[in-house]
Amino acid sequence: MGIGTSLPATRVSNFEIESFLDTSDEWIQSRTGIRERRVAEPELTLLQLAARAARAALQAADLDPSAIDAVICSSSSPDATFPSLACRLQAELGCPHGPAFDVQAACSGAIYGMALAQSMIQSGLSRTVLVVAAEIFSRVLDWSDRSTAVLFGDGAGALVVGSSNQEGAQIVALDLGADGGGAWALDTIRYHPIKQEPARLRPEYATSDRAMDRVVHMDGREVFRFSTKILEQIVLRLAGAARIEVDQIALIVPHQANSRILGTAAGRLGVPFDRFTCNVDRLGNTSSASIPLALAEAEGQGRCHTGDLVCLVAFGAGLTWGGVLLRWQPTGVVVDDPGDLEKSNQSLSDTEGRSTPRREEISG
Ligand code: UT7
């Protein structure tokens, strides 16, 4: 396995959003844990963002695009209904003409993609699958709706999934599910520009061309209830499938929707919060990209050790959910973040007692 991520350089703080929306940094931080998010520059396309993450993952896995015989993409903010992002990415990267398709499982998309990749490999259909989750949610938000506009951010993450005799983290257990009866709680509705604030108050990202003529709409409380419950259930089910106790899981990498959701789920599971990864403060909710982004960050910070059980847990619109339990092995990570001011030098220098994956940064 190899992991690659890419982020737009532009950071948008809660204070900037305060300048055009009836909200406050205090409200956003106390209800969600979010301080800032990345927002794609108007000229950046979803394909470009996805391709940057994909190239980073290939570099991390030390593979040429010719080694990829299937491409699976996930995006809830595609810039076209068809052709799929996966087909366009396959051509962009120059991968062979194996299967290429998108999965639509909202924030659970990367986990659905990993599960499909694993099945395709086990069935003998594919050998090495590229799974890419890429989101430019800023283009499917109604920037006059404070109940959703403050929550999301843009970014992409990619994973190279290979057979069990290839290097990197190994999949131990999988769990996928959906309840379409809850579809109403998080969906898209027709965009009504009349609701927009006067144009002079809006930043550039709120006026750029929309990917779709529909915008995100959510019953936050209902999704909150669902998220805390399902997060707990997935961890328990994966532990059951692997015949382990929950406290044997070294690290839980959940979908980064809201730090309060993670805190509530940690309490329900009786797991200390420091065993959860949380980067929602800096990236907001990047939908299906959030788990690869959080996993890459955890590995870069030296939080994944050889032999550790690492649990990825996703939940989102559909309603969908999914989990992957990994047995950690040294796994290459490459981060393409032209907006990273610190370049994570401190965490890179602290490598004592951990596996020694290759971790690289691609500058601007
Ligand atoms: O990725 C998919 C998964 N997504 C999620 O998991 C999101 C789950 N939901 C949540 O994270 C939370 O429900 C939210 C953060 C979305 C909302 O937090 P909440 O504590 O559930 O707030 P609420 O919706 O109950 O609203 C409380 C108040 C309302 O005002 P009144 O009716 O009490 O006067 C809202 O109008 O907060 C108001 N409000 C805001 N105020 C300032 C809602 N959004 C904002 C805002 N700024 N941005």
Full pLDDT tens readout for the chain, 364 residues: 899 999 999 999 999 999 989 999 999 999 999 999 999 999 999 999 999 999 999 999 999 999 999 999 999 999 888 999 999 999 999 999 999 999 999 999 999 999 999 999 999 999 999 999 999 999 999 888 899 999 999 999 999 999 777 788 999 999 999 999 999 999 998 877 655 555 445 677 776 666 667 889 999 999 999 999 999 999 999 999 999 999 999 999 999 999 999 999 999 999 999 999 999 999 999 999 999 999 999 999 999 999 999 999 999 999 999 999 999 998 999 999 998 866 543 333 333 334 445 667 775 4
Q: Rounded to an integer, what distance in angstroms lies between the CA atom of residue 212 and that of residue 209?
A: 9
54/87 same-domain check: yes
> How do strand 359-362 and strand 332-336 relate by DSSP bridges?
parallel
Question: Which domain, by its residues, includes 106?
Answer: 2-169
Q: Which position has the token pair 């929306």? A: 21
162/176 same-domain check: no
89/135 same-domain check: yes
pTM of the predicted protein model: 0.93
The identity of residue 124, as a single letter, is: G
pLDDT value of position 55: 98
Cα(176) to ligand 1 centroid in Å equals 27
Residue 105 beta carbon below 6 angstroms from any ligand 1 atom: no
pLDDT value of position 310: 98
CA 65 to chain centre: 22
pLDDT value of position 153: 97
CATH number of the CATH domain containing 137 = 3.40.47.10
Q: Rounded to an integer, what distance in angstroms lies between the CA atom of residue 281 and that of residue 33?
A: 5
108/223 same-domain check: no
Catalytic annotation present for 285: yes
**CB-based contact 227:285 (threshold 8 Å):** no
Tokens linked to 196? 């927009």
Nearest atom within ligand 1 for CA of residue 317: 2
155/229 same-domain check: no
Backbone phi, psi, residue 334, to 5°: -130, 130
With 0-12 CB in 10 A as exposed, 13-18 as middle and 19+ as buried, what is 43? exposed
Q: Rounded to an integer, what distance in angstroms lies between the CA atom of residue 231 and that of residue 323?
A: 9
Residue 263 beta carbon below 6 angstroms from any ligand 1 atom: no
Catalytic annotation present for 255: yes
User: Which of 73, 279, 285, 304 is labelled catalytic?
Assistant: 285
Q: Rounded to an integer, what distance in angstroms lies between the CA atom of residue 137 and that of residue 343?
A: 25
175/276 same-domain check: yes
**Domain annotation covers residue 115:** yes
pLDDT value of position 168: 84
Dihedral sign from CA coordinates of 184, 186, 189, 194: positive
Residue 209 is classified by DSSP as P
238/106 same-domain check: no
16-21, Cβ contacts within 8 angstroms, sequence gap of 24 or more: 16/203, 17/149, 17/150, 19/201, 20/143, 20/197, 20/201, 20/202, 20/203, 20/206, 21/143, 21/144, 21/146, 21/149, 21/150, 21/197
pLDDT value of position 224: 97
57/125 same-domain check: yes
179/271 same-domain check: yes
Domain total of the chain: 2
pLDDT value of position 350: 39
Q: Which position has the token pair 């950690």? A: 328
Cα(18) to ligand 1 centroid in Å equals 15
181/77 same-domain check: no
**CB-based contact 53:334 (threshold 8 Å):** no
7/152 same-domain check: yes
Tokens linked to 90? 């396959």
147/187 same-domain check: no
**CB-based contact 285:151 (threshold 8 Å):** yes
pLDDT value of position 295: 97
pLDDT value of position 359: 67
